[in-house]
């Protein structure tokens, strides 16, 4: 090949290579140029976020419960720091703040190349001192950190809730969350977190490669979160909390007394719940759960020991909505209503039952000859002695189990295996049992309403999973008519057995019964108002559908509830109520629990009976007798609600 | 000149009268140098002012080199390139010495590449390209029917010594130029396809060995990795490349205008006055400006190849071909690096990157090429030497 030919080949190769460069240049500048131009413009700007203050929280009367203040905090922004200056800066800060240098360094590394991280909160004095030296401290700034102030301390802690850093579940649900910013973890702080949070402000700075500021945009100020108005009445809340704590104290006093008298006592009481709600719209006026906690602990991050101690005592559990208990005799109101509304039959073959006159002989024991083929069963009532022949109203007043057992027995015999079999359960469900109320708080439990279908489900599960904990005794699995028995319905009719409910469900059911049968959704927040006074949220509070409660039954229930406090199981506890005693009523309850646990003490009260406004539910876990321990607590609260002077919480009479 | 002329050398004076200098070649070179001055000013003024130096400091410094370069072009045009052939072994020896002695000087930016004379840092590796080219051309231009293995080996040896010294500096880009030069010159000298196969096989083996035995420094490997994965560590090793591509890309079709552009003015592109000077062109003058620069270089390379074709002897032809290759290689690798198709190396953009040694060396190359052009036609009756 001649030299000239080789030269031509070389020229061609060079031309091709220049061509490739030219084409690539076209691609970089023309095809992708606009995108690059955008990135170039963006990368010179950095955004500095300023945290918004969380919204304030007020009670129903406008009393401030929670607010926010600003505290100075020292922040280091790595974007403004030349890597060469890092060590000197950390040493300097460590000297100024008294924070160990390795701690600052750890934060520095964790923040990442373009990160911004808080070093520590500083006093106002330190903040001023550092402010004067800022020019010598590149990347350092003092920012205003909004911080929660819980003006009411631990009062209403379970409604207010507390803050905390987002965990994995929070981040999965809301990926936009900042890892270092506190969010609501419990109570309305959590449920209404997005309304309370507010909108962050920011300013934008244009930097050169040396991180010097070239331009600054007009800063956008942060906007404080919406103000939340609770339905809680803070003064009532304080009354309820004090009463409930006194109730726990009283329960333990009574236990000491019983021990001294040689009676069996298993545990001290230390947990309790109380709720007051407005039956005309579902607003929660007070909600207390013992033990509680101080939300202020979480403001700067709670230490592990304190947290686990509180967590172990279940202080964060809101027993009003998360505690599941047998409603016990408080449930008799539901059986009472079903009996009258549905004309449920009483058994005709028992000597102590007179179905024609609707009377039952409450003599302490119910004997069932031939109830189950070839057997004779005896049911013992809670009292000893003979209360005579009682009608439904007397039975409610005296909390006579035999009467309510008889209702269940008659229903079972009449309707077993028909679609009417679960007629009492239907009433329970329509009054809210077995289902969460939908209150605007987290951690609510739903409870159980037992019936044939549920037992059948359990049976099937048990047969498929022989190793799982069994809910039904093995003997029930072989019964021809299914695992649900007449005895289960009898237990159910007096609020025992597999039936469980939260104190809120009991309060809700009574609320619907005393307001004339109208449903409602319990709630703790009525509205949220933005900083610009616009409405961010309004609870559609009000009454829903009627459950089919007739006026006659309604008024008879109200007067029978009054009889409970004037001459019935709570009469002793309400002795000193005051002149308005004729306008209030209630029902005691004593929940039997598993072996070796003491009974749960219940009382549900309502008033004013001429124009029902509120119900009160009190539960003292393992507190003992409802009439003896829970009724005095409720009475104290009801005295406050009726404008009476609340009298001391002292022992009532032991009654179911 | 007569002092240097050997008795068998042909008279050089007579033919200079009849041929005029290559105006296109020199015109393109001067245009690129002027464009370079403008770009150096735009790329360095902000940084200089930050350091309380006059904004035109770097540009003024470069103007001295431009002036010196013009003198060198004139001087080397005047010298008969054939003289250089006889001096090749002396030049080569001097080059090897200067490349060795540089290791006695302190490292700058991690590389021992410069002689520091206070006001001026001399970079011998820049001149070594031309020195090596002269020696290779001298060996390969000996008259023979065909290219013997012996001469191929000789050429290889001549290339390997400076290449190894430069590899130690380290300066991977310059080292690759030697390999490229050798390839082009062997091709120009008429290497057969079998010989080419053996040589490229050996070259490949050496390349693989360098990789396998970890002779490359980690940053050199990183630069190659980044090329294939530009999003690898965009704030670390990928920074230069990413910012460079963004700067060029953001210029779009017509550029942001002279002295405009965030990448340039906010100093987001490192080494913008020197190795990354093309990003200043790309951002401020856009695709149009970039293509004009590339076209100017294409004209330059085209003229050099024309000179190679017109050279009166084989030495001149190979010399011009080598000079064309040096220019083409620098332009392709340098611009290619700023737009992400070549690894990041320290190869300057001819006549445009700020820097004395490279400017002077490229000026010498243009001077030699012009000398070849001036002496292209044989004087009647003269014995053609090769």
Q: Which of A104, A136, A151 is the last residue of a domain?
A: A151
Per-residue pLDDT, A613: 97
Residue A29 is nearest to which of B253, B324, B341, comparing CB atoms?
Answer: B253
| B15 lies in some domain | no
pLDDT digits (tens, 9 = 90+) for B274-302: 889 999 999 999 999 999 999 999 999 99
> Is residue A484 in some structural domain?
yes
Per-residue model confidence (pLDDT) at position A342? 95
Does a structural domain hold residue B128? Answer: yes
Does residue A85 belong to any structural domain of this protein? yes
Determine, for residues A32 and B314 on separate chains, whether the beta-carbon distance falls below 8 Å: no
Indicate the pairing of strand B121-122 with strand B115-116.
antiparallel
Tell me which residue in A26, A113, A208 faces B267 most closely, judged by beta carbons: A208
The model's pLDDT over B76-131, given as tens digits with 9 standing for 90+, comes to: 999 999 999 999 999 999 999 998 888 887 777 667 777 777 667 788 889 999 99
In A, which residues are within 8 Å of B314 by CB distance? 3
Is B291 an interface residue toward A (CB < 8 Å)? yes
Please give the tally of structural domains in chain A. 2
The contacts of residue A276 (CB under 8 Å, 6+ apart) are A236, A240, A284, A285, A286, A287, A507, A614, A615, A616, A637, A641
Task: Write out pLDDT tens, residues B323-342.
Answer: 999 999 999 999 999 998 98
In this structure, are residues B350 and B358 in contact, taking their beta carbons and an 8 Å threshold? yes
Residue that is last in its domain, among A497, A532, A555: A497
Tell me how far apart the alpha carbons of residues A574 and A150 are, in angstroms, rounded to a whole number. Answer: 36
Is residue B112 in a domain?
yes
Q: What is the pLDDT of residue A34?
A: 92
> Which residues in chain A have Cβ-Cβ distances shorter than 8 Å to B248?
25, 28-29, 36
Helix (H, G, I), strand (E, B) or coil at A392: helix
Number of A/B CB contacts below 8 angstroms equals 127
The answer to whether B268 contacts A209, with C-beta atoms less than 8 Å apart, is yes
Residue A320, judged by CB atoms within 10 A of its CB (0-12, 13-18, 19+), counts as buried
The whole-number pLDDT of residue B363 equals 97
What is the distance between the alpha carbons of residues B68 and B82, in angstroms, rounded to a whole number? Answer: 23
Q: Residue B9: inside a domain, yes or no?
A: no
Choose among A231, A278, A240: nearest CA to A508.
Answer: A278
Q: Tokens 């509205």 belong to which residue?
A: A527
Report the alpha-carbon distance of residue A531 to residue A648 in Å, rounded. 44
Side-chain half-sphere CA neighbours of B74 within 13 A: 6
**pLDDT-based confidence at B16, cuts 50/70/90?**
very low
CA distance B299 to B338: 21
User: CA A84 to CA A94: how far, in whole Å?
Assistant: 17
Residues facing residue A499 across a β-bridge: none
pLDDT digits (tens, 9 = 90+) for B118-152: 667 788 889 999 999 999 999 998 877 788 899 99
- Rounded to a whole number of angstroms, the distance from the CA of B247 to the nearest CA of chain A is 7
Structural domain boundaries, residue B110: 34-374
Whether B273 maps to a domain, the answer reads yes
The answer as to whether A141 is a domain residue is: yes
pLDDT at B381: 46
| Domain assignment of residue A278, yes or no | no
Indicate if the pLDDT at residue B379 is higher than 60.
no
On whether any CB of chain A is under 8 Å from the CB of B190, the answer is yes
Q: Answer whether residue B140 is part of any domain.
A: yes
Range of the domain at A361: 329-428+450-497
pLDDT above 90 as % of chain B? 51
Judged against a pLDDT cut of 80, whether residue B229 lies above it is answered with: no
A contacts of B302 (beta carbons < 8 Å): 11
- B249 contacts in A (CB within 8 Å)? 28-29, 32-33, 35-37, 40
Assigned domain for B98 exists? yes
Report the pLDDT value the prediction gives residue B25, as an integer from 0 to 100: 96
Question: Given this model, what pLDDT does residue A377 score?
Answer: 78
Which pLDDT score is estimated for B378? 59
pLDDT confidence of B2, banded at 50, 70, 90? very low
Q: Confirm whether A516 is domain-assigned.
A: no
Q: ipTM score of the complex?
A: 0.90
Yes or no, beta carbons of A6 and B187 under 8 Å apart: yes
CATH (domain of A79) = 3.30.70
Residue stretches of chain A with pLDDT short of 50 = none
Nearest chain A residue to B299 by CA: give it: A15
Give pLDDT, residue A205. 85
**Strand pairing class (A600-607; A272-278):** unpaired
Report yes or no on A237 lying in a domain. no
């Amino acid at each position: 090949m001649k030299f000239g030919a080789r030269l031509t080949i070389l020229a061609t190769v060079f031309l091709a290579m220049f061509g490739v460069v030219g084409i690539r240049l076209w691609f970089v500048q023309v095809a992708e140029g606009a995108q690059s131009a955008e990135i170039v413009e963006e990368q010179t700007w950095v955004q500095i976020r300023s945290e918004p203050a969380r919204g304030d929280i007020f009670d129903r009367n406008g009393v401030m419960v929670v607010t926010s203040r600003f505290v100075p905090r020292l922040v280091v922004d790595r974007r403004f720091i030349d890597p060469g200056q890092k060590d000197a800066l950390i040493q300097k800060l460590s000297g100024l703040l008294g924070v160990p240098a390795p701690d600052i360094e750890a934060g520095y590394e964790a923040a990442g190349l373009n990160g911004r991280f808080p070093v520590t909160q500083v006093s106002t004095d330190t903040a001023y001192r550092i402010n004067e030296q800022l020019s010598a401290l590149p990347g350092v700034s003092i920012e205003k950190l909004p911080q929660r102030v819980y003006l009411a301390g631990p009062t209403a802690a379970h409604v207010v809730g507390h803050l905390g850093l987002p965990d994995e579940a929070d981040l999965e649900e809301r990926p936009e969350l900042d890892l270092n910013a506190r969010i609501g973890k419990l109570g309305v702080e959590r449920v209404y977190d997005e309304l309370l949070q507010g909108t962050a402000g920011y300013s934008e700075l244009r930097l050169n490669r040396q991180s010097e500021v070239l331009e600054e945009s007009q800063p956008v100020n942060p906007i404080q979160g919406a103000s939340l108005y609770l339905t809680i009445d803070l003064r009532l809340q304080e009354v309820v909390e004090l009463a409930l704590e006194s109730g726990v104290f009283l329960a333990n006093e009574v236990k000491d007394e019983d021990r001294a008298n040689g009676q069996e006592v298993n545990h001290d009481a230390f947990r309790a719940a109380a709720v007051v709600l407005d039956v005309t719209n579902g607003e929660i006026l007070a909600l207390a759960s013992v033990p509680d906690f101080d939300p202020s602990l979480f403001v700067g991050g709670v230490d592990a020991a304190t947290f686990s101690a509180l967590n172990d005592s279940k202080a964060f559990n809101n027993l009003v909505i998360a505690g599941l208990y047998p409603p016990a005799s408080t449930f008799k109101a539901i059986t009472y209503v079903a009996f009258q509304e549905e004309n449920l039959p009483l058994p005709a073959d028992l000597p102590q039952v007179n179905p024609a006159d609707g009377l039952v002989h409450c003599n302490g024991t119910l004997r069932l000859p031939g109830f189950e083929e070839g057997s004779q069963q005896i049911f013992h009532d809670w009292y000893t002695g003979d209360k005579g022949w009682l009608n439904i109203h007397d039975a409610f007043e005296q909390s006579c189990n035999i009467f309510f057992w008889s209702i269940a027995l008659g229903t079972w015999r009449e309707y077993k295996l028909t679609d009417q079999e679960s007629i009492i359960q239907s009433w329970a469900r329509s009054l809210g049992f077995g289902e969460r109320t939908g209150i605007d708080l987290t951690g609510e439990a739903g409870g159980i309403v037992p019936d044939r279908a549920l037992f059948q489900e359990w049976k099937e599960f048990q047969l498929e999973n022989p190793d799982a904990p069994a809910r039904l005794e093995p003997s029930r699995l072989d019964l021809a008519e299914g695992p649900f028995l007449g005895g289960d319905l009898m237990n159910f009719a007096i609020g025992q057995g597999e039936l469980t409910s939260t104190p809120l469900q009991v309060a809700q059911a009574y609320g619907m019964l005393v307001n004339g049968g109208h449903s409602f959704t319990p709630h703790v927040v009525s509205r949220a108002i933005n900083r610009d006074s616009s409405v961010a949220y309004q609870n559609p509070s009000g009454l829903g559908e009627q459950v089919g409660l007739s006026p006659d039954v309604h008024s008879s229930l109200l007067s029978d509830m009054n009889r409970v406090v004037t001459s019935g199981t709570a009469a002793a506890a309400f002795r000193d109520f005051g002149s308005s005693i004729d306008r209030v009523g209630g029902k005691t309850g004593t929940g039997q629990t598993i072996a070796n646990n003491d009974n749960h003490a219940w009382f549900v009260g309502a008033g004013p009976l001429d124009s029902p406004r509120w119900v009160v539910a009190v539960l003292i876990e393992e507190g003992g007798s409802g009439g003896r321990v829970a009724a005095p607590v409720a009475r104290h609260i009801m005295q406050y609600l009726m404008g009476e002077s609340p009298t001391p919480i002292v022992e009532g009479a032991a009654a179911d | 000149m007569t002092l240097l002329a050997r008795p068998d050398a042909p008279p050089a004076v007579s033919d200079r009268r009849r041929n005029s200098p290559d105006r296109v070649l020199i015109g393109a070179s001067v245009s690129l140098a002027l464009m370079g001055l403008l770009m150096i000013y735009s790329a360095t003024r902000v940084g200089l002012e930050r350091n309380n130096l006059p904004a035109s400091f770097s540009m003024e410094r470069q103007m001295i080199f431009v002036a010196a370069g013009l003198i060198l072009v004139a001087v080397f045009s005047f010298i008969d390139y054939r003289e250089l052939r006889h001096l090749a072994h002396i030049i080569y020896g001097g080059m090897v010495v200067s490349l060795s002695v540089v290791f006695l000087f302190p490292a700058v930016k991690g590389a021992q590449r410069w002689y520091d004379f206070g006001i001026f840092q001399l970079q011998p590796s820049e001149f070594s390209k031309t020195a090596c080219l002269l020696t290779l051309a001298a060996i390969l231009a000996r008259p023979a029917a065909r290219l013997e293995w012996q001469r191929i080996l000789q050429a290889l040896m001549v290339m390997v010594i400076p290449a190894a010294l430069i590899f130690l500096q380290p300066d991977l880009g310059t080292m690759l130029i030697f390999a490229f030069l050798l390839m082009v010159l062997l091709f120009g000298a008429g290497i057969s396809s079998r010989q080419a196969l053996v040589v490229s096989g050996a070259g490949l083996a050496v390349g693989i060995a360098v990789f396998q035995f970890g002779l490359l420094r980690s940053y050199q490997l990183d630069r190659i990795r980044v090329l294939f994965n530009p999003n690898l560590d965009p704030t670390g090793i990928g920074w230069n490349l990413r910012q460079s591509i963004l700067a060029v890309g953001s210029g779009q079709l017509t550029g942001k205008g002279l002295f405009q552009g965030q990448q340039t003015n906010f100093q987001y592109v490192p080494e913008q006055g020197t190795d990354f000077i093309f990003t200043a062109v790309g951002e401020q003058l856009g695709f149009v400006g970039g293509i004009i620069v590339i076209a100017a270089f294409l004209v330059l390379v085209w003229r050099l190849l024309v000179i190679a074709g017109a050279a009166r002897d084989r030495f001149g032809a190979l010399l011009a071909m080598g000079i064309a290759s040096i220019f083409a290689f620098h332009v392709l690798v340098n611009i290619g690096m700023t737009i992400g198709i070549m690894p990041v190396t320290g190869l300057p953009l001819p006549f445009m990157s700020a820097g004395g040694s490279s400017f002077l060396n490229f000026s010498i190359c243009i001077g030699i090429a012009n000398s070849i052009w001036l002496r292209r036609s044989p004087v009647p009756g003269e014995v053609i030497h090769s």
